[in-house]
């Protein structure tokens, strides 16, 4: 595993496991095989309704808490100062932890006052040592500017949709210039990114298309959190550090951009 150093000097693994849509009765097996494969960072959210099964699966494996990195995300309905603090406590209970490694605002929305208040709660949790990394998800530069004006602590991370069809080639360097580390969610485009260019590059490196998609992120210092229930594919998604893409291959992947998202556009959508 390789790591990236965040703006508060904490090191995060470049590859973590997303657990969106992992059902409660699948979690034990998914986490056991992922842990054995080498995953230490697990990405959940209040919205996924599986914090409790993730917490239980880790607990029963008997893994030392310090070995693991848990991410969870505050749901939109729980944004605001008091509601963030209250729902954070509930998340900790479900995860069976007394601190969370990374806490993210799941979706920015279009209410600047709410964003600023939520961030104040994040800063309090960080200052009290209850969260080690405070960050964002789906934030654009417009949303980040709210925190730049009202906040005291710059976010450490921003988890965004990124795949060859949504390359985020402007946002990523802009985040990195602000010392906010990008994380690509759904880096495999939820299994729907098979493309001739990617297949050819994969064949050349004797790697799989999924490994090419993940490597393309890593080479831009973008963390990835692919989800797989399958032990073989979990392992495959970690075997990324024995090959390197040529600049021309990265350019060819970048050219696949169509702007077609798998989810909503955070510039306009709110819920
Ligand atoms: N912040 C946000 O708003 C947000 C939004 C969406 C997702 N996320 C996070 O990002 C994580 C990943 O996103 P995602 O789960 O939606 O999609 P994804 O990781 O892009 O794709 C997952 C799909 O790809 C398949 N897959 C995994 N590895 C593969 C491989 N090596 N070869 C071929 N297929 C493979 C999986 O099937 P198998 O299980 O059968 O392997 C699954 O169907 C989520 O779990 C969640 O933690 C965050």
Q: Provide the domain limits for residue 77.
A: 3-254
pLDDT tens digit sequence for 165-216 = 999 999 999 999 999 999 999 999 998 878 999 999 999 999 999 999 999 9
User: From the CB of 214, is ligand 1 less than 6 Å away?
Assistant: no
Domain count, the chain: 1
Decide if pLDDT at 92 tops 90. yes
Q: Which residue has tokens 């991370």?
A: 157
User: From the CB of 190, is ligand 1 less than 6 Å away?
Assistant: yes
| Per-residue pLDDT, 218 | 97
- Backbone torsion region of residue 218, taken as left when φ is above 0, otherwise alpha when ψ lies between -120 and 50, otherwise beta: alpha
Compute the average pLDDT of residues 57-77.
96
The answer to the question of residue 263 being in a domain is no
The number of residues in the chain equals: 271
- Atom of ligand 1 minimally distant from the CA of 191: 24
Buried b (16+ CB within 10 A) or exposed e, 29-58: ebbebbbebebbbbbbbbbbebbbbbbbbb
CA-nearest residue for atom 36, ligand 1, is 228
Could you tell me the CATH number of the domain that includes residue 42? 3.20.20.100
State both tokens at 269: 């959508």
The answer to the question of residue 261 being in a domain is no
The answer to the question of residue 195 being in a domain is yes
Compute the average pLDDT of residues 91-103.
98
| Per-residue pLDDT, 255 | 97
The answer to the question of residue 155 being in a domain is yes
pLDDT tens digit sequence for 132-160 = 999 999 999 999 999 999 999 999 999 99
In the reported structure, the alpha carbon of residue 238 is separated from the centroid of ligand 1 by a whole-number distance in angstroms of: 14
Decide if pLDDT at 120 tops 90. yes
Report phi then psi at 63, rounded to 5.
-80, 140
| Per-residue pLDDT, 194 | 80
State both tokens at 223: 């963390």
d(CA 27, CA 32) in angstroms, rounded, equals: 8
Average pLDDT, the chain: 97
| Per-residue pLDDT, 90 | 98
The answer to the question of residue 266 being in a domain is no
18's CB contacts (< 8 A; 6+ apart) are 43, 185, 186, 225, 226, 227
Q: What whole-number percentage of the chain has pLDDT above 70?
A: 100
The answer to the question of residue 262 being in a domain is no
d(CA 156, CA 131) in angstroms, rounded, equals: 12
In the reported structure, the alpha carbon of residue 187 is separated from the centroid of ligand 1 by a whole-number distance in angstroms of: 7
The answer to the question of residue 259 being in a domain is no
The answer to the question of residue 268 being in a domain is no
| Per-residue pLDDT, 191 | 85
User: From the CB of 139, is ligand 1 less than 6 Å away?
Assistant: no
Compute the average pLDDT of residues 100-107.
98
In the reported structure, the alpha carbon of residue 48 is separated from the centroid of ligand 1 by a whole-number distance in angstroms of: 13
- Confidence band, pLDDT 50/70/90 cuts, at residue 271: confident
């Amino acid at each position: 595993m390789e790591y990236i150093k965040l703006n508060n000097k904490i090191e995060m693994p470049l590859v973590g496991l997303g657990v969106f849509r992992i059902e409660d009765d699948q979690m034990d097996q998914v986490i056991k095989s992922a842990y054995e494969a080498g995953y230490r960072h697990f990405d959940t959210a209040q919205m996924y309704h599986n914090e409790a099964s993730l917490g239980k699966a880790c607990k029963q494996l008997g893994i030392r808490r310090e070995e693991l990195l848990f991410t969870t995300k505050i749901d939109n309905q729980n944004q605001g100062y008091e509601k963030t603090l209250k729902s954070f406590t509930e998340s900790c209970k479900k995860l069976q932890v007394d601190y969370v490694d990374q806490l993210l605002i799941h979706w920015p929305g279009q209410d600047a006052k709410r964003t600023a208040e939520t961030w104040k709660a994040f800063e309090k949790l960080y200052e009290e040592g209850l969260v080690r990394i405070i960050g964002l998800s789906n934030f654009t530069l417009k949303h980040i500017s709210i925190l730049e004006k009202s906040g005291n602590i710059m976010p450490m991370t921003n988890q965004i949709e990124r795949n060859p069809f949504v390359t985020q080639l402007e946002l990523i360097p802009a985040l990195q210039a602000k010392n906010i580390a990008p994380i690509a969610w759904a880096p495999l485009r939820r299994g729907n990114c098979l493309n001739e260019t990617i297949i050819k590059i994969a064949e050349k490196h004797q790697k799989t298309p999924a490994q090419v998609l993940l490597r393309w992120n890593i080479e831009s210092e973008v963390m990835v959190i692919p989800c797989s229930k399958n032990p073989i594919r979990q392992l495959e998604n970690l075997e990324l550090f024995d090959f390197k893409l040529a600049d021309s291959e990265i350019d060819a992947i970048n050219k696949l951009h169509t702007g077609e998202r798998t989810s909503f556009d955070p510039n306009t959508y709110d819920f």
